[in-house]
Structure 1
């Protein structure tokens, strides 16, 4: 009779999981931060993500982010800061929250035109028509004046007097009018940005976005939510630092010129502009 272990004793214990459960997003980010020897303050300073949001995400509380688009952007930013690949974490977030959010539909054409009326240039056609009308009027006036004065006009010229023509506008003066047109009153103020400063205009075109702006000394100029259709203008003597919570929702003008970067919806961008910008890219 054997007194050793029976085959039943060698069966695996019931109730013991064969694979450990996948760690949560917040736990993964926190462990990576600790492994990198970083504090929450270090991560917040490096990413411009507020400390309270970093704490909330590490606790798997994404409500303070303000929505799925912002949550995904913060996860991507924090993952890069602690040297993690953000794609698996984003896939895990999408799986836990009903899939990736649908892209925001583009604004109607008439809405885009309503938002951007100030970028139209001067109406050169109208200015040229006005100049031509002025020249034609001057020629007609001169011909009429010559016909009514007859020989008397020749006597005035001989005596050195031609008061009628001296008070009339010359063709050259009329044609010079469109060369220096007055600025359109609807022209955006940023188009007249001084060259000795850096001027940055931020506009939320079709949806709101959180933004932060600092001057060259690190002084906070603005930190908050820019509502849809609103804009902010920042100016400094040498440099403006920006953080865009949803760069795809933002339209930028730097020193009077539009920035054509292809920002993605939900992407967090950290940008710096100086007096020499916009540069290539």
Structure 2
């Protein structure tokens, strides 16, 4: 089925048989029930994806009873509940059917241990650019202040000579005074972000540079900071006193800056990534 087909093109066979001629089960599977409800509601897969922010590929997989792309039972049950509401059907029987088919309902898991259980390799540590940037700024400010002070002394000497009756020579033009303007080299955007990031907090900037992606962010207490779609070109910044937990729906389009440092990682397009970042030099936990 191609994206954008009308719901009528996806109607099940009216005689209760599948395309290979075998009879369907008396009770449809979870995926078939969602598909039938969507068609009855006059919606396409693209309509459901836009309304729920569940990627089109995942909607297709669920309707085919393939829950692997969901990333686990907890997320699969959440997708089933979301899709059921979008196609105007009761999610409770579908969740019960899913639990029967997959060994029962999963035990509730606190938010923080869920993220900590899926540890991802830590980011390689680099030089401490924060201290170097602060030292450079202090040096520039000191130099500007010193040159301004010396310039003030020169102006005072000149005023004193005029008061005492000294007459400047007309034969020689006055030499131009050296400029006190100090040109500060432009810093890289990542350096500016490093200098701006407070050291007593964890700061995470999420930017959708190559496309749109659903993202979720929680603080160290499990409180939701953001849950929604980040369109291409948009950015969100999250800050917490100790830890920020992320879920990236399509990590391949996302660029991360953590505590002012760009995260260089080879996230695959379409991959769902669950990440945890803490204070200091970025280290995924």
TM-score of the two chains, using structure 1 as the length reference: 0.42
What is the TM-score when the length of structure 2 is the normalising length?
0.41
